[in-house]
Amino acid sequence: MAGLDDILGMLPIDQVAAKLGVDPATAAQAVQEGGGAILGGLQRNAATPEGASAIDAALAKHSGLGDSVDLDQVDTADGEKILGHVFGGQKDQVAQTLTSEPQTAGIDFGKLLPMLAPIILGLLAKKKQTGGAAQESSGGIGDLIGGLLGGGSGGGQKAGGIDIGGLLGGLFGGKR
């Protein structure tokens, strides 16, 4: 998926692996799964005018992302706040569900997701800036997020082997 590959390309996977205590291949898989879950949550929120407006406001605060990221410079406290907005009271359950998946068993998503959230918002802000008027005239933020997930604003995306729509729909009581 192009958007998740963009995230992987920006991150020093060796640094992620060291922080998580896993090998680089497992860290890359975890970044894809965690990034997909965050993007899926953002897309779900973007489906309402209020949610789309809130995401646009958040993107304005996260512009200026470069082509690479130093994880030691990532504000994980900001990441926790972002996750609270994206997943509400379900953020711990999202992390636990991702941790229980066979392909990422043993990864501490409670530690990884707060690292990824500000990076993903920075990437979205960067994509929005480079997409400019084309994004404004088309489907807006929902399509921008859907493009990073590998599709339009529809559901059913997968990150690695995890069905993001099913994961989030189950957590939030939806039928995805």
The confidence score (pLDDT) of residue 148 equals 67
Cβ neighbours of residue 160 under 8 Å, at least 6 residues apart?
A: 29, 32, 33, 36, 103, 104
**163 three-class SS:** strand
Residue 163, strand partner residues: 158
Which stretch of 12-16, 40-44, 67-71, 121-125 has the lowest confidence by average pLDDT? 67-71
The confidence score (pLDDT) of residue 1 equals 45
142 pLDDT higher than 90 = no
Which stretch of 25-34, 85-94, 121-130, 150-159 has the lowest confidence by average pLDDT? 150-159
Q: How does pLDDT run across 75-124, given as a tens digit for each residue?
A: 999 999 999 999 988 999 999 889 888 777 778 999 999 999 998 898 88
pTM of the model: 0.78
Cβ neighbours of residue 34 under 8 Å, at least 6 residues apart?
A: 98, 109, 112, 113, 116
Please check whether residue 152 is in contact with residue 146, taking contact to mean a CB–CB distance below 8 angstroms.
yes
Amino acid identity, position 153 = S
